[in-house]
A and B are shown apart, each in its own frame.
Chain A
Amino acid sequence: QSALTQPRSVSGSPGQSVTISCTGTSSDFADYNYVSWYQQHPDKAPKLIIFSVNKRPSGVPDRFSGSNSGNAASLTISGLQPEDEGDYYCFSYAGNYAVFGGGTKLTVL
């Protein structure tokens, strides 16, 4: 049950796009329907922003999108906004266990 692998940090200017990768084993991604992404601002609880690889909960801007390929999932944020700055975590439910990624700090320059 090792953490999924994410880049420690990414950055971009307002209006640009950034992509955060999330890699693991074939067991970790047994079912891509169970891959989700969370945004966390300092001293706040995490917030679900993508589920089932590429679905967005109500209220999440369509600037956020998800995809998958092999043993990896990705989160893309288009048209970066200052409020997008924060930490992002991928998550996968793998049957009898679940695991988060190590987290990626997004800086909006």
Chain B
Amino acid sequence: EVQLLESGGGLVPRGGSLRLACEGSGFSFSAYAMTWVRQAPGKGLEWVSAITGGGITTYHADSVKGRFTISRDNSKNTLYLEMNSLRAGDTAVYYCAKGMYNMDVWGKGTAVTVSS
């Protein structure tokens, strides 16, 4: 069964840092681009970052550019999101998803709360 499992969320002070991880299983992880999507409480989906299968090319939304970094370790079938200089507006459930154009498998999400 194809699965994605996020971890690393939690409560962090404003200006702090956090690293999210997403472990994939049941598919050839390195063959697929991966994406992070977030959803603030009561709000819609927001595309955050994406990375190609080999990890060479990355993309970030303007709202996180310069603060967040997406990366992956294909030897561990794991996707990462390094988040720095966190703001209240970054409070959300963070989902990882398989794919870049069409995200066909999603994790259950990990919650990040930035406290003031």
* Minimum distance in angstroms from B60 CB to a CB of chain A: 9
A residues less than 8 Å from B61 (CB atoms): 1, 97
A residues less than 8 Å from B103 (CB atoms): 36, 38, 46, 48, 91
Per-residue CB proximity of A93-104 to B under 8 Å, as 1/0? Answer: 100111111110
* Minimum distance in angstroms from A12 CB to a CB of chain B: 21
- Asked if A57 lies at the interface with its beta carbon under 8 angstroms from chain B, I say yes
B residues less than 8 Å from A100 (CB atoms): 37, 44-47
Chain A interface residues (CB < 8 Å from chain B): 1, 3, 33-34, 36, 38, 40, 45-48, 51-52, 57, 87, 89, 91, 93, 96-103
Closest B residue by C-beta to A48: B104
> In this complex, which of B45, B61, B104 has the most chain A Cβ atoms within 10 angstroms of its Cβ?
B45
Residue of B37, B44, B59, B101 near A36 (CB, 8 A) is B101
A91 to B99, CA, bound (A): 13
Contact A36 B50 (CB under 8 A): no
Per-residue CB proximity of B75-116 to A under 8 Å, as 1/0? Answer: 000000000000000000001010011111011110000000
A1 to B102, CA, bound (A): 18
A101 to B46, CA, bound (A): 9
- Asked if B1 lies at the interface with its beta carbon under 8 angstroms from chain A, I say no
Residue of B35, B59, B102 near A96 (CB, 8 A) is B59
Contact A89 B44 (CB under 8 A): yes
Residue of B50, B62, B100, B106 near A46 (CB, 8 A) is B106
Contact A103 B104 (CB under 8 A): no
Contact A3 B44 (CB under 8 A): yes
* Minimum distance in angstroms from A82 CB to a CB of chain B: 23
Contact B95 A46 (CB under 8 A): yes
Closest B residue by C-beta to A93: B101
